[in-house]
Amino acid sequence: MCKHCILLFSFLIVQFCSFSQAISKEELIYLTESWKGERFSDGRPKVSDALIERAKQIGIEEAWQILNNEGYKNQFEGNWKMVHDDVPVVGRAVTARFIPSRPDLELQIKERGKRDGRKGNTNAWPIELLQKGDVYVAEAFGKIAQGTLIGDNLGTSIFNKTGTGVIFDGSARDLSGLAKIPGFNAFVRDFHPSFLEQVVLAGLNTPIRIGGAVVMPGDLVISEREGVLFIPAHLAEHVIATAEFISVRDRFSKDVLKSGKYNAGQIDSQWTEDIKTSFLDWIKQHPKEPQITRAELEKFLEKRTW
């Protein structure tokens, strides 16, 4: 091999292997510049625990429509198998990208990992980063046989750290064992009895693609039986508040339509001042509903990004 070829190959190996570690804090902040709130020490956006709790109550259809109207059209992915079909996975994304293994690259990646103090196979490395409220989201090129990123042992470790679950464009094993972890869920392409083989970590807390969806570290993950939605961190509060308004607006509309106070034409048209006042009075009479001020109501009705 010529000298220039050797140098080029060495350069590519170093560049590629650097992906096995998390990107720099500066790079992550740059890529998520629209986020203006608190961050983790590595630069990952930290959507608040309070927002995560509120996100558990909103509908994925409303959230998808809000994002779509904001121009974010590549944030949803369906076609999943789950451990439980009634346990949503909601939280902040920690992302990982896996690729088919190649001996020279895998050797370099694992050697670098050892020097950095990482232990075990590379599929365990992202788990080291997880914190309470996180969701482990992995791109694994849809591999099923020998694409099992976790079994019930790693699943237990993940749940103990996060209290949530995982989203894998790959597979998992030990379905019966995973099903015994209360509160845990996994959205995967399939389940398979094989062990993970010929797969290596190539990116940690980097932008990834999950099917047709783009996922950034710190994105707010919400899920229902039909699929998973990845909400950019800087839009989380807007999406949640708007979805809450849509939901409470629908409940108010049903009540007043049943009572005959207003007809469908009035409710589905631009609201009059009388309807706005009735809506705000109705909310005060239902303290468990999200409380909305007149200023917030006017803003929702004016923007109508839903």
Task: Tell me the pLDDT tens digit for each residue of 253-288.
Answer: 999 999 999 999 999 999 999 999 999 999 999 998
Give the whole-angstrom CA distance, residue 139 versus residue 228: 14
Q: Is residue 189 part of a domain?
A: yes
Query: What is the tens place of the pLDDT at every residue in 74-104?
Result: 999 999 999 999 999 999 999 999 999 999 9
Phi and psi, residue 227, nearest 5°: 160, -165
211 lies in a domain? yes
pLDDT at 288: 87
Cα 106 versus chain centre, distance: 28
Evaluate if residue 4 carries a pLDDT over 50. Answer: no
Residue 104 has φ and ψ, to the nearest 5°, of -65, -40
Q: Coil, strand or helix: which one is 45?
A: strand
Instruction: Tell me what pLDDT residue 306 has.
Output: 57
**184 and 159 together in one domain:** yes
Please give the backbone phi and psi of residue 13, each rounded to the nearest 5 degrees, phi first: -60, -45
67 contacts 107 by C-beta, under 8 angstroms: no
**pLDDT category, 218, cuts 50, 70, 90?**
very high
| Model pLDDT, residue 9 | 38
> Residue 89 sits in which domain range?
21-46+73-100+126-231
Indicate if the pLDDT at residue 22 is higher than 80. no
> What is the reported pTM?
0.88
Q: What are phi and psi of 230, to 5 degrees?
A: -110, 110
Asked if 269 and 218 sit in the same domain, the reply is no
Looking at the predicted structure, is the pLDDT value of residue 106 above 70? yes
Same domain for 91 and 203?
A: yes
Q: Examine the pLDDT at 13 and tell me if it is beyond 60.
A: no
Tell whether the model's pLDDT for residue 21 goes beyond 80: no
Please report, as a single letter, which amino acid is at residue 299: K
Residues 154 and 277 in one domain: no
Q: Give 10 or 201, the one with higher predicted confidence.
A: 201
pLDDT at residue 116 in the model: 86
Give residue 5's pLDDT: 43
Is 272 inside any structural domain?
Answer: yes
H helix or E strand, kind and range, residue 139: strand 134-139
10 pLDDT more than 70: no
Answer whether residue 297 is part of any domain: yes
pLDDT for the residue 229: 98
**Which contiguous run of DSSP H or E holds residue 68?**
helix 60-69
Last residue of a domain, one of 214, 231, 248: 231
Question: Which domain CATH number covers 160?
Answer: 3.50.30.40
Q: Quote the pLDDT of residue 304.
A: 64
Provide mean pLDDT across the span 34-59: 97
Domain edge (last residue) among 231, 251, 283: 231
Same structural domain, 130 and 267: no
| 141/287 same-domain check | no
Residues 102-113 have a mean pLDDT of 93
Residues 135 and 279 occupy one common structural domain: no
| CA distances for 3 relative to 7, 104, 229, angstroms | 6, 19, 48
The sign of the CA dihedral 32, 34, 40, 41 is: positive
CA distance 62 to 243: 6
Domains of the chain: total: 2
Instruction: Say if 67 falls within a structural domain.
Output: no
User: Whole-number mean pLDDT of the chain?
Assistant: 91
pLDDT tens column, 140-150:
999 999 999 99
Share of residues in the chain with pLDDT > 70 (%): 92
Domain boundary among 207, 231, 255: 231
Residue 152, phi then psi, degrees to nearest 5: -70, -25
144 and 187 part of one domain: yes
Average pLDDT over residues 127-133: 96
Instruction: Give the helix, strand, coil percentages of the chain, each rounded to 5.
Output: 45, 20, 35
Please name every residue paired with 97 in a beta bridge, in sequence order, or none if there are none: 139, 203
| pLDDT (0 to 100) of residue 290 | 85
Predicted local distance difference test score (pLDDT) of residue 305? 56
Place of tokens 């949803």: 76
Do 140 and 274 fall into the same domain? no
Contacts 24+ apart (CB under 8 A), 106-112: 106/200, 108/13, 108/14, 108/16, 108/17, 109/17, 109/20, 109/200, 109/201, 109/202, 112/17, 112/18, 112/20, 112/21
Residues 242 and 158 in one domain: no
Q: What is the DSSP string of 194-254?
A: SPP-SEEEEEESS-EEETTEEE-TTPEEEEETTEEEEE-GGGHHHHHHHHHHHHHHHHHHH
For residues 159 and 275, state if they share a domain.
no
β-pairing, 220-224 with 227-231?
antiparallel
Same-domain check for residues 143 and 179: yes
